[in-house]
Copies of this chain bind each other. A is one copy, B any other.
């Protein structure tokens, strides 16, 4: 491999793909090296903490991506139903139509550091809050909105797993299609 440069953003996106495909324990520096085009020593230069630090950066990057593409757009002025449809399309792309596992799932299994677990929890709580707020904006009472928000994320996560086992993304697509009715 000749000299290679890759932006921090691209590096994290490709690393996220590896972690989401193989899980935290199944991700090796060799696989990260192949996916990023950087030799292992170069990965250590950028992330002295190795795999654990990369996983933490992936979790924080996932939170940042959700903030920019889902949470913030949902806060802008406009029809809540329309904003939600846009957010759903972002999520559909994020999960590659249901074929790519969720970072929350694969990074939360035993093996990760407490910092990683904390970052995942922060990001998921922010997601629940974003969905709760849009449901409230659509007219649902506070407690019901919160319930529906959790239910929506549970459905996304669950349908990804059922779809993965059955080899069929139908369940995931149905879950996304039901979100507008669930969150309003």
Q: Which chain B positions have C-beta within 8 A of A25?
A: 22-23, 25-26
In the complex, the answer to whether A166 meets B110 with C-beta atoms within 8 Å is: no
Q: Quick one: which of A21, A120, A150, A158 has the most chain B CB within 10 A?
A: A158
The yes or no answer to A108 lying at the interface (CB within 8 A) is yes
The yes or no answer to A36 lying at the interface (CB within 8 A) is no
In the complex, the answer to whether B167 meets A121 with C-beta atoms within 8 Å is: yes
The yes or no answer to A157 lying at the interface (CB within 8 A) is yes
The yes or no answer to A125 lying at the interface (CB within 8 A) is yes
Chain B residue nearest to A151 (CB atoms) is B155
Given A25-B22, A156-B158, A158-B156: A165 and B106 interface contact (C-beta under 8 Å): no
Given A150-B171, A166-B125: A23 and B109 interface contact (C-beta under 8 Å): yes
Given A158-B156, A166-B125: A109 and B110 interface contact (C-beta under 8 Å): no
From DSSP, what is the main secondary structure of chain A's interface residues? helix
In the complex, the answer to whether B154 meets A104 with C-beta atoms within 8 Å is: no
Which of these, B21, B120, B125, B150, contacts A110 with CB under 8 Å? B21
In the complex, the answer to whether A162 meets B124 with C-beta atoms within 8 Å is: yes
CB distance from A131 to the nearest CB of B (A): 12
The yes or no answer to A177 lying at the interface (CB within 8 A) is no
In the bound assembly, the distance between CA atoms of A117 and B111 in angstroms comes to: 23
The yes or no answer to A91 lying at the interface (CB within 8 A) is no
In the bound assembly, the distance between CA atoms of A106 and B165 in angstroms comes to: 10
The yes or no answer to A13 lying at the interface (CB within 8 A) is no
In the complex, the answer to whether A171 meets B154 with C-beta atoms within 8 Å is: yes
- Interface of A with B (CB < 8 Å)? 21-26, 101-102, 104-106, 108-111, 117, 120-121, 124-125, 150, 153-159, 161-162, 164-167, 171, 175
